[in-house]
């Protein structure tokens, strides 16, 4: 299947998703990859990794960019040469990118019951204790996604998901919440949006000025 969704979720922001059903070979057709990308592709151990990587390049193309417009800093964070902000995520059969004028982070997660086992390691007690909530797993997955997405914006050494990133409680029907990062002397606020697509949860957020 080609592109699953391409929307301007806000006037200054494009969100694109790919449902990966093709082989790596099919995905690479018509793509012009930089030498760096070709080297990276060659070093991936699994076909799943290659498909995720290539589907992201297809999404870039859909958004009007080529592989050579994308570069990475030494921490692995992606950047676009025109100065727009980009964040990337892949999970099993889906990949997603967000491109915005604002500082943004994105995470895509497959919802799994086993997230409950590690909830106490990353989530606030109010989330962990709410086990009777029918949306327990859904909310934990959003909570995790928020923290991954914040981390993708501010990937400073020593940030703890549990101690430094706080997600305001929400209902799934809200489709949005807020989050705060408090780390050393830094305090940053984020506007968070989330949705569920099949068995996946997508979270994207923007750092407030
Ligand atoms: C970097 C990290 C956020 C990536 O998340 P992930 O769920 O493994 O993978 P995703 O598919 O969602 O994201 C991968 C993409 O993130 C981006 N990325 C990688 N490192 C990054 C960084 N340091 N900063 C921002 N973005 C980064 C890349 O674009 C990468 O995809 P690409 O290399 O194909 O372009 C994750 O590996 C990580 O380090 N998380 C923090 C772990 C942690 O603190 N856990 C505490 C648990 S209690």
Check residue 1 and give its pLDDT. 66
Query: What is the torsional sign of CA 85, 90, 91, 96?
Result: positive
Interval 113-165: pLDDT, tens: 999 999 999 999 999 988 999 999 999 999 999 999 999 999 888 999 999 99
- Please state which CATH number belongs to domain 3-102: 3.90.470.20
Average pLDDT of span 194-199: 97
Domains in the chain: boundaries: 3-102, 109-207
In the structure, what pLDDT confidence band is assigned to residue 2 with cuts at 50, 70 and 90?
confident
Q: How many Cα atoms are found within 13 Å in the side-chain-facing hemisphere of 119?
A: 22
Interval 7-63: pLDDT, tens: 999 999 999 999 999 999 999 998 999 999 999 999 999 999 999 999 999 999 999
Query: Which pair of structure tokens corresponds to residue 139?
Result: 């909310």
Q: Is the CB of 120 under 6 A from ligand 1?
A: no
Distance CA 34, CA 8 (A): 28
Distance CA 51, CA 41 (A): 9
Q: Is the CB of 155 under 6 A from ligand 1?
A: yes
pLDDT > 90 fraction of the chain, expressed in percent and rounded: 96
Residue 3, pLDDT > 80, answer yes
Residue 209, pLDDT > 90, answer no
Q: Is the CB of 50 under 6 A from ligand 1?
A: no
Mutation test residue for ligand 1: of 17, 24, 76, 141, the one with most atoms within 8 Å of CB: 76
Atom of ligand 1 nearest to the CA of 75: 23
In the structure, what pLDDT confidence band is assigned to residue 202 with cuts at 50, 70 and 90?
very high
Q: Is the CB of 94 under 6 A from ligand 1?
A: no
Average pLDDT of span 81-96: 97
Check residue 159 and give its pLDDT. 94
Residue 21, C-beta contacts closer than 8 angstroms, at least 6 positions apart? 1, 93
Query: Which pair of structure tokens corresponds to residue 48?
Result: 């799943």
Atom of ligand 1 nearest to the CA of 118: 48
Distance CA 156, CA 82 (A): 24
């Amino acid at each position: 299947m080609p592109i699953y969704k391409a929307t301007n979720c806000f006037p200054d922001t494009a969100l694109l998703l790919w449902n990966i059903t093709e082989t790596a070979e099919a995905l690479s057709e018509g793509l012009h990859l930089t030498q760096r990308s070709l080297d990276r592709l060659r070093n991936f151990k699994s076909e799943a990794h290659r498909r995720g990587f290539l589907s992201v390049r297809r999404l870039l193309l859909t958004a009007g960019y080529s592989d050579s417009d994308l570069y990475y800093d030494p921490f692995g964070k992606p950047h676009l040469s025109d100065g727009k902000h980009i964040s990337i995520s892949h999970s099993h059969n889906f990949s997603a990118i967000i491109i915005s004028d604002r500082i943004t982070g994105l995470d895509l997660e497959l919802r799994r019951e086993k997230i409950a086992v590690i909830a106490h390691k990353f989530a606030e007690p109010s989330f962990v204790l709410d086990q009777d909530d029918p949306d327990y797993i859904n909310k934990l997955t959003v909570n995790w996604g928020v923290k991954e997405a914040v981390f993708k914006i501010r990937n400073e050494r020593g940030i703890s998901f549990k101690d430094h990133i706080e997600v305001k409680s929400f209902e799934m029907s809200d489709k949005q919440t807020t989050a705060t990062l408090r780390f050393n002397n830094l305090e940053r606020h984020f506007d968070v949006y989330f949705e569920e697509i099949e068995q996946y949860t997508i979270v994207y957020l923007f750092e407030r000025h």
